[in-house]
Amino acid sequence: MTASTGGSDGGRRSTGFILLVALANAGGVIAFLPLLSLLLPVKVAEIAGEDARIGLFTATVIAGALTASVSNIAFGWASDRARVRGNGRRPWAVLGLILLALSFAAVALASTATGIILAIVLFQVAVNALLAPLFAIMADEVPGEQMGIAGGLIALGSPLASAVAALMIALGIAGEGLQLAFVFAAVMLCVLPLLRAPSRRTEPTIAAPVRLLGRDLAIAWASRLLVQVAGCVLGLYLLYYFASIEPDAPTSTHVGPIGQLMTIAYLIPLPVAVLLGRWSDRIGRRKPFLVTAAIIAALGLAGLAVAREWNAAAITFALYALGSAVFLSIHSGFAMQLLPSAQHRGRDLGLINLTNTLPALLGPLLTWLLATPRDFGAVMLVLAALTLCGGLLVLGIRQQR
* DSSP calls for 290-317: HHHHHHHHHHHHHHHHH--SHHHHHHHH
Residue bearing the bigger pLDDT, 9 or 382: 382
DSSP state of 205: P
State yes or no: pLDDT of 96 exceeds 90: yes
Please tell me the predicted confidence (pLDDT) of residue 15: 79
Please tell me the predicted confidence (pLDDT) of residue 343: 59
Average pLDDT over residues 171-197: 92
State yes or no: pLDDT of 116 exceeds 90: yes
CB 3 within 8 A of CB 144: no
Please tell me the predicted confidence (pLDDT) of residue 218: 81
CB 338 within 8 A of CB 222: no
How far apart are alpha carbons 16 and 313 in whole angstroms? 37
Average pLDDT over residues 338-350: 60
Q: Name the least confident of 10-19, 206-215, 370-379.
A: 206-215
How far, in whole angstroms, is CA 359 from its chain's centroid?
11
Average pLDDT over residues 72-81: 84
The three-state secondary structure class of 209 is coil
- Specify the long-range contacts of residues 184-187, CB closer than 8 Å, at least 24 apart: 184/31, 184/100, 184/101, 184/104, 186/27, 186/30, 187/27, 187/28, 187/30, 187/31, 187/97, 187/100
State yes or no: pLDDT of 226 exceeds 50: yes
Query: Which of 19-28, 31-40, 207-216, 295-304 ranks highest by mean pLDDT?
Result: 295-304
Exposed/middle/buried for residue 329 (C-beta within 10 Å: 0-12, 13-18, 19+)? buried
State yes or no: pLDDT of 198 exceeds 50: yes
Phi, psi (deg, nearest 5) at residue 221? -60, -50
At 199, the pLDDT band (50, 70, 90 cuts) reads confident
State yes or no: pLDDT of 390 exceeds 90: yes
DSSP state of 342: G
The three-state secondary structure class of 375 is strand
Q: Name the least confident of 19-23, 141-145, 184-188, 216-220.
A: 141-145
CA-CA-CA-CA torsion sign (25, 27, 28, 29): positive
- 3-state helix, strand, coil split of the chain in percent (to 5) is 80, 0, 20
State yes or no: pLDDT of 1 exceeds 50: no
How far apart are alpha carbons 362 and 299 in whole angstroms? 21
State yes or no: pLDDT of 337 exceeds 70: no
DSSP string, 176-193: HHHHHHHHHHHHHHHHHH
At 41, the pLDDT band (50, 70, 90 cuts) reads confident
Contacts of 299 (CB under 8 A, 6+ apart): 319, 320, 323, 384
Q: Name the least confident of 22-31, 55-64, 75-84.
A: 75-84
| Alpha helices per DSSP H over 85-112 | 90-109
| Range 15-396 has CATH code 1.20.1250.20 | yes
Nearest to 145 by CA among 271, 25, 286: 286
State yes or no: pLDDT of 387 exceeds 80: yes
CB 69 within 8 A of CB 200: no
Q: What is the pLDDT of residues 256-313, one digit of tens each?
A: 788 888 888 888 888 888 888 788 778 878 888 999 999 999 999 999 999 988 899 9
Please tell me the predicted confidence (pLDDT) of residue 3: 34
Residue bearing the bigger pLDDT, 384 or 220: 384
Vertex 154 angle, CA 83 and 301, to 5°? 130
DSSP state of 171: T
% residues pLDDT > 70 (the chain): 84
Mean pLDDT of the chain: 82
CB 25 within 8 A of CB 154: yes
At 19, the pLDDT band (50, 70, 90 cuts) reads confident
How far apart are alpha carbons 69 and 74 in whole angstroms? 9
Phi, psi (deg, nearest 5) at residue 101? -60, -40
Average pLDDT over residues 16-40: 89
SS (H, E, C) 45-93: HHHHCCCCHHHHHHHHHHHHHHHHHHHHHHHHHHHHHHHHCCCCCHHHH
Nearest to 305 by CA among 365, 230, 247, 368: 230
How far apart are alpha carbons 1 and 209 in whole angstroms? 6
State yes or no: pLDDT of 321 exceeds 60: yes
Please tell me the predicted confidence (pLDDT) of residue 124: 94
Q: Name the least confident of 26-35, 60-69, 147-156, 345-354.
A: 345-354
Please tell me the predicted confidence (pLDDT) of residue 105: 96
Q: What is the pLDDT of residues 132-171, one digit of tens each?
A: 888 778 777 777 667 677 777 777 787 888 888 888 888 8
